[in-house]
Chain A
């Protein structure tokens, strides 16, 4: 797979480390009433869709930036790439 890095252009996916669903960016509030329940869901439960998936990739052997890819988990087609820090 080729990942089109927003700053560095086309890069081999082997340069990256995969973390998982991009919703991991939204860490629950540890002070919330139901923090235990929220963290259980955050840590363990996943949508795991067949089709479009927003996910976190870390450019370890490159500029060490975190990217958010929109990738199809059936075809591996990547339709969108953005820097994670810009996504907010």
Chain B
């Protein structure tokens, strides 16, 4: 069976509109995806029927809100195939998840002289928290380089891993290049030297199945808004043994069991890491997005996006002056490129006026831009609802830009 793209697309009300008198063609899915009606309705229905604070009320609404919030946690557990909901910490998004690990686990575990290994293709959110941690602890940040195709130089990994390596941070699916990294192999090698591994799954969850047990990763971070869910909610998965040892990240309500002025006893997992009133509606929307995705077939989504990406790549190679940035053998959803003689921001503006929404910039991965010697790229990124018509519009607009700058 193949994905019924028209039926999928029909579930996204926002896509049915014109901008500047042109059909909206949304190809900025790596920044954030659009939301299906099921997600919008779940959030609206929560506010219309069940809204109350969680874990603290005795009344009916509070019980319903708590049940819905915890049901969402179970859905996230299922999405990642975590062992237990105790390993599922709701956070604001990938960025907060990584900062939580850096500040809690990192501050407790790292000493001067220890090493953190990340890769040259990381998003700033998987670079800066580690730099901040290194500054505070005296640990050293090391970087696994990438090759001209935009793949990790895996042959250099063994020489960068040693007994001082305490953590490896790696992106599952690169937002700047589309590269799918061999995270299982990285985790195996990192564990062999006793290092923990954090996988940045911000981009991955909407495009491939995730199984944290099979990967055996120690930490996995992702954001709901890149997988058809709302903004402001995401998840940190961490192995229970790690979460148990980690000190809380923020203090406040909900994360405690008992407070006196002399002593505070922390709450059990995962609440120890969820201080304050959480994003309840967000979590419920996240759960609805997972249900929605489960109603489709991830294999069919991936196959559809892969076909589209191959077609886009083929057309891109036919366009004179276009240079692809990122041609990894294992790649998904992202077409990143530059055009000879036209700055990416001019392309962004021209495409926008043709109704085509793409991203032009450094994609929060400035080291990748430096590696490829470009100030910025244009990035078209796909989701389940994109069609060949969308690619037609993209390439027509690119040709128009070329003519305008000729």
Verify that A and B bind, or say they do not.
no
Residues of A whose CB lies within 8 Å of any CB of B are: none
